C-alpha cells in the first residue's frame, strides 16, 4: 500500500521557540491516537534543530523547505542536502510554487536540486501546479505534466521510490480557494498515468501524490478520501496545532 503523508509547510513563519512549542502541541494531540498517515513538519532552516529536538523519539518527521544542489563551498546563504539530513530531516520540498514564481526557479535548477536531495539521502516532495491563467486557457494538465516530466523524467526506479509529488494549483495557495475534489482527484489521476508511462505501473502505484492549496480541517476529509489523493501539503492551517491536527485526523 502506498504511503500517505500530511506535511505542514510552515513557510517563513515561527522562530525556533515558537516552532518548538507548536511541535510539542502537535505531539500532545497525537498522544494515544494513531494517524492514518505519516505526519511531517517543515519549519524554516533556523528552527530545524529546535523542532527536531522537540520531536525526538516521536513518529513525526522533519522536513526542510528547500536545499542547494552543491555539497559544500562558496554558496553564500545556501544549505546542502547533507546539512539538512544531518539536522534530522527526512524530507525536503523541491519546486514549491513560491520558489518557482517569486524566486524564479525552473527546470534545470529543480532537476539538480531533486537529484542532490536523493543523493544526500533525503526524500524530495516535488511540487507542481498551474497558474490561474494556465487553467483558464485549458492548459492545466499540460503544464503539470510538463513539470512532472521535465524534472522527474530519467530518474531510476530506486530514486523514484523516494519521491513524493505535491499537486498545488498556484491559484489555490493561500487564497482560501480549493480545487474541487473532482478537479484535484482528476489531476492526480493524470499525474499517476504519466508516472505509469515514465516509470511503469508498479512505481506509479507506489508514489504518494499529495494535494496542497487551502487545505483546512473542513475540506480535508473530502479531499483526503478522494481517489489518488494520498495526503496533503498544508500551509496556513499547519501553523496552529488545532487546525493541523484537524487535517491529520479529518472528520
Ligand atoms: P496554504 O495551505 O496556505 O494554501 O498553502 C499551501 C502551500 O503552499 C503548502 O506548500
Where along the chain do its domains lie? 34-240
User: For the CA atoms of 168, 172, 178, 179, what is the dihedral angle to 10 degrees?
Assistant: -60
Cell of 77: 546563504
Residue 80 has pLDDT above 90, yes or no: yes
Residue 75 has pLDDT above 90, yes or no: yes
Cell of 236: 496556513
Give the pLDDT confidence score for residue 171 in this predicted structure. Answer: 93
> Is 78 annotated in the active site?
no
Residue 177 has pLDDT above 90, yes or no: no
Residue 66's pLDDT band (cuts 50, 70, 90):
very high
**Which class in CATH covers the domain with range 34-240?**
alpha beta
Give the pLDDT confidence score for residue 193 in this predicted structure. Answer: 98
Cell of 174: 493561500
- Spell out which residues line ligand 1, taking CB within 6 angstroms: 9, 96, 168, 173-174, 212-215, 233-237
Residue 178 has pLDDT above 90, yes or no: no
Best residue among 127, 212, 246 to mutate for probing ligand 1, ranked by most atoms within 8 Å of CB = 212
Residue 1 has pLDDT above 90, yes or no: no
Which tens digit of pLDDT belongs to each residue from 214-239?
999 999 999 999 999 999 999 999 99
Average of per-residue pLDDT across 87-103: 97
Cα separation, 131 vs 111, in Å, equals 20
Average of per-residue pLDDT across 203-223: 97
What backbone phi and psi angles, to 5 degrees, belong to 9? -95, 105
Residue 29 has pLDDT above 90, yes or no: yes
Task: Flag the least confident range among 95-99, 111-115, 176-180.
Answer: 176-180
Average of per-residue pLDDT across 32-45: 96
Cα separation, 20 vs 49, in Å, equals 9
Length of the chain: 251
What string of DSSP letters covers 75-137?
A: -TT--BHHHHHHTT-SEEEES-HHHHHTS---HHHHHHHHHHHHHTT-EEEEEE---HHHHHT
> Is 53 annotated in the active site?
no
Amino acid at each position: 500500500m502506498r504511503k500517505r503523508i500530511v506535511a505542514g509547510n510552515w513557510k517563513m513563519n515561527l522562530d525556533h521557540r515558537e516552532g518548538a512549542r507548536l511541535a510539542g502541541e502537535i505531539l500532545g494531540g497525537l498522544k494515544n491516537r494513531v494517524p492514518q498517515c505519516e505526519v511531517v513538519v517543515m519549519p524554516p532552516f533556523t528552527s530545524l534543530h529546535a523542532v527536531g529536538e522537540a520531536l525526538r523519539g516521536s513518529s513525526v518527521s522533519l522536513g526542510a523547505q528547500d536545499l542547494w544542489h552543491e555539497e559544500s563551498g562558496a554558496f553564500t546563504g545556501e544549505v546542502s542536502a547533507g546539512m539538512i539530513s544531518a539536522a534530522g530531516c527526512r524530507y525536503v520540498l523541491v519546486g514549491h510554487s513560491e520558489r518557482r514564481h517569486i524566486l524564479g526557479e525552473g527546470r534545470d535548477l529543480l532537476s539538480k536540486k531533486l537529484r542532490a536531495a536523493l543523493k544526500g539521502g533525503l526524500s524530495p516532495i516535488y511540487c507542481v501546479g498551474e497558474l490561474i491563467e494556465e487553467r483558464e486557457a485549458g492548459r492545466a494538465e499540460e503544464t503539470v505534466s510538463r513539470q512532472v516530466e521535465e524534472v522527474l523524467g530519467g530518474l531510476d526506479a530506486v530514486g523514484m521510490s523516494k519521491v513524493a509529488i505535491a499537486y498545488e494549483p498556484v491559484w489555490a495557495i493561500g487564497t482560501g480557494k480549493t480545487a474541487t475534489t473532482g478537479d484535484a482527484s482528476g489531476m492526480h489521476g493524470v499525474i499517476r498515468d504519466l508516472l505509469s508511462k515514465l516509470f511503469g505501473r508498479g512505481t506509479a502505484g507506489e508514489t504518494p501524490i499529495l494535494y496542497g492549496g487551502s487545505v483546512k480541517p473542513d475540506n480535508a476529509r473530502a479531499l483526503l478520501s478522494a481517489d489518488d489523493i494520498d495526503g496533503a501539503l498544508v500551509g496556513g492551517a499547519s501553523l496552529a496545532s488545532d487546525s493541523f491536527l484537524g487535517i491529520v485526523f479529518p472528520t
